[in-house]
Amino acid sequence: MLGFETSDDAAVYRLSADQAALLTVDFFTPIVDDPYDFGRITAANALSDIYAMGGRPLAAMNLLAFPCSLGPDVVGEVVRGGAEKVTEAGAVVVGGHTIDDKEPKYGLSVFGTVHPDRIVRNRGARAGDVLFLTKPLGTGIFGTALKNGRETETSARTVIESMAALNAKAADAMNEVRVNAGTDVTGFGLLGHLHEMIAASGVAAEIDLVRVPVFEGALEYAAEGVVPGRTADVIEFAAPFTTWSSSLAQETWMRVLCDPQTSGGLLLAVPSEDATELRIALEGRGVLAAQVGRVLDGDVGSIGVV
């Protein structure tokens, strides 16, 4: 039913009139030193693709590439963290594959299901829709600060727990209210993923900068240039479709809006008349989402930052 035509979060294959399979895979190198946290974060990130499509994860398989020199204790903690997140999601780990590799990598391939008529795509946003973001930005920035010794895994605990948190509750609220479009914010940053959504939908968007949630300290790091190396590539990608009229510091904020996220939140486009209902549904589940902008008629794929 759905492949990679508009960069949706998972492939969709119809199984029957009332059930479709969701198929996705994601893995990456460690962004924290603690192997257990690495496993939790990576699993939450992979499971997020299923939630972004409005589905329910059922089964996952480990993808593990580690140097044998690290030993089974470290690897065991990684897969323990991943397995706990899969269990929390109500799914099961059913096996996987391992290889010996000089650079550690871990992730999951995930199988889930969704009703064919209730698939949430990253296209379908309409002019007048309100945009919600369900997690703060800045995980990539804090990952760099950790690597540079500017943060510890104690001082960055709030960010780590956010990355390890499932998007399950946000997805439940999204499915209850029925949004027009949705995606999760990951490696292309907020601007990149919003652009994919509105370009596929044939509309434009506007971001209200003062409403964008950011982890405490991320702006200061961004101003200093403590950002992932990939940020420059995302900024270069986003610059042609982004216009700036905010009085806030453009260079600093572009680094935040283009910060490659790990296990970021859901970006949801909901009709304005349903925005209050969605907020209530999110907050009732403990999700403190922010209303970060709106969808507009205009140059397709363009984003104004105000």
Report pLDDT digits (tens) over 82-139. Answer: 999 999 999 999 999 999 999 999 999 999 999 999 999 999 999 999 999 999 999 9
For residues 162-182, average pLDDT: 97
Which pLDDT belongs to residue 171?
A: 97
Which pLDDT belongs to residue 17?
A: 96
pLDDT of 236-272, one tens digit each? Answer: 999 999 999 999 999 999 999 999 999 999 999 999 9
Which pLDDT belongs to residue 193?
A: 97
For residues 279-294, average pLDDT: 97
For residues 262-289, average pLDDT: 97
pLDDT of 42-56, one tens digit each? Answer: 999 999 999 999 999
For residues 207-234, average pLDDT: 97
Which pLDDT belongs to residue 197?
A: 96
**Model-level pTM?**
0.95
Indicate whether 25 pLDDT > 80. Answer: yes
Ramachandran quadrant class, 279 (left: phi over 0; alpha: psi -120 to 50; beta: rest): alpha
Given this chain, do its domains 11-118 and 130-305 carry the same CATH topology? no
Indicate whether 3 pLDDT > 90. Answer: no
Which pLDDT belongs to residue 51?
A: 98
Which pLDDT belongs to residue 302?
A: 98
Does domain 11-118 fall under CATH 3.30.390.10? My reply is: no
Indicate whether 9 pLDDT > 90. Answer: no
Indicate whether 6 pLDDT > 90. Answer: no
The confidence band for 5, taking pLDDT boundaries of 50, 70 and 90, is confident
Q: Identify which of 106, 76, 81, 109 has the alpha carbon closest to the alpha carbon of residue 95.
A: 109
Indicate whether 59 pLDDT > 80. Answer: yes
Give percent above pLDDT 70 in the chain.
100
Indicate whether 178 pLDDT > 90. Answer: no
Domain at 130-305: CATH code: 3.90.650.10
What are the structural domain ranges in the chain? Answer: 11-118, 130-305
The confidence band for 2, taking pLDDT boundaries of 50, 70 and 90, is confident
Mean pLDDT, all residues of the chain: 96
The confidence band for 275, taking pLDDT boundaries of 50, 70 and 90, is very high
